[in-house]
Copies of this chain bind each other. A is one copy, B any other.
Amino acid sequence: MSSSSDDNDNNNDVDVDVDVDVDVDDTGLHKPNCGGGASEGGDVTMELGRIIDGKAIADAIRTEISRELIGRAADVDVVVDGIGGGKIGGRPGLAVMLVGNRADSATYVRMKQRACADAGISSYLETYPDVDGVTEEMLLDRIRRWNDDDDVHGILVQLPLPPKIDEGRILGAVNPAKDVDGLHPSNVARLFSSDTHDRTHDGERLDWTDLSSVPFHLPCTPQGCVELLDRIGCDIEGKRAVVIGRSNLVGLPVAMMLVHRNATVTIVHSRTVDARDVVREADIVIAAAGKANMVKSDWLKRGCVVIDVGINAINDSTAKRGYRLVGDVDYDGGAKDVAGWITPVPGGVGPMTIAMLLRNTYNSWKRANK
């Protein structure tokens, strides 16, 4: 679970230690401005150190999805606040492919399936524990059948796949409309190709102010980062945002989403000279480098908003397992006291990844039943 390279994200899953109860609480939905504090010194009354409670926000989103689903689906057995009954036959379905024997992958898949069940989404699991026996053709055949299955609205290939399997070939075989991880080239290209502008694929402008309205699948972790900004009421437009890390799973897609939201975005990485000085310009910092405690308090502009995607295991003899998890930002080393808002690790971005997966699956089902 630890990662060493700054551009490393072998796995879309980060600290998914979610409470699986559907929680109707909507804590965390404050609506102040964010990050726009004076660049140096400035307003000494600025509120600092506010925690972005990703767990509470993810729970609130999961509850929203459940409620909407109950309002629409005829075939959902979850009841929240006595609301039930629906309009669309069936219910959303997520198909999950798990290849190999990685314990962490199995845990992530279990969490995703449990989250589906809680939300009223069906899930189907296909496992291929025999790495030696599995072939690309077997996996492609399974995906093709899911592509054709009207009960399947989302297809998730748990990553990483074994090295012998061509990941690009498998991911590229998923029907883009069911690609709830947002990794198919068609979805990648639509994120990149800037449907905010006139030259869209389908002739209409997109409204990026509501990510859940985007008519194709955005990858879950970066989507969760932007959703956190929205939920704390951060006005992204015109802000300077710095994304640390340039992975195709987190750094680059979150940078594009912030561009579409009219932030002025800088991408920082391992070859950046004087990264501290660059990060200090940011009203919004997205740390997705995979380096434990890399971003120190003196890298941060006072009052900025910090979204920490990192999840790094560091040795800790006082911990039960001999290690503990920390982010890319030196939270306890002072970063928390300089930032206006900051996500903890765990309990920040991690729970959002699953919430966004549920949202993508639910949206896919809605679009299929339009």
Residues of A with Cβ closer than 8 Å to B? 5, 7-8, 10, 166-169, 172, 185-186, 188-194, 196-203, 237-238, 240, 246-249, 252, 255-256, 259, 262, 264-269, 271-273, 278
Please, could you name 11 A-B residue pairs with CB atoms under 8 Å apart, sorted by A?
Answer: A169-B201, A185-B188, A188-B189, A188-B192, A189-B192, A192-B192, A193-B252, A194-B252, A197-B247, A264-B272, A265-B267
Answer whether A271 and B188 are a contact pair too, CB < 8 Å, given A199-B10, A252-B194, A266-B264. no
Contact across chains for B252 and A278 when beta carbons are under 8 A apart = no
Nearest B-chain residue to A272, judged by Cβ: B264
B contact residues around A166 at 8 Å (CB) = 201-203
Copies of this chain, complex-wide, total 2
B contact residues around A264 at 8 Å (CB) = 266-269, 271-273, 278
Q: Shortest beta-carbon distance, A262 to chain B, in Å? A: 4
B contact residues around A190 at 8 Å (CB) = 185
B contact residues around A185 at 8 Å (CB) = 185-186, 188-190, 193
Q: Shortest beta-carbon distance, A40 to chain B, in Å? A: 14
Contact across chains for B259 and A194 when beta carbons are under 8 A apart = no
Greatest chain B CB density within 10 A among A185, A203, A259 is at: A185
Answer whether A198 and B266 are a contact pair too, CB < 8 Å, given A188-B189, A189-B185, A193-B248. no
Contact across chains for B248 and A194 when beta carbons are under 8 A apart = yes
B contact residues around A167 at 8 Å (CB) = 199, 201
Docked pose: A193 CA to B249 CA in angstroms: 8
Closest 6 CB pairs of A and B: A168-B201, A185-B189, A262-B271, A188-B189, A266-B266, A193-B248
Nearest B-chain residue to A197, judged by Cβ: B7
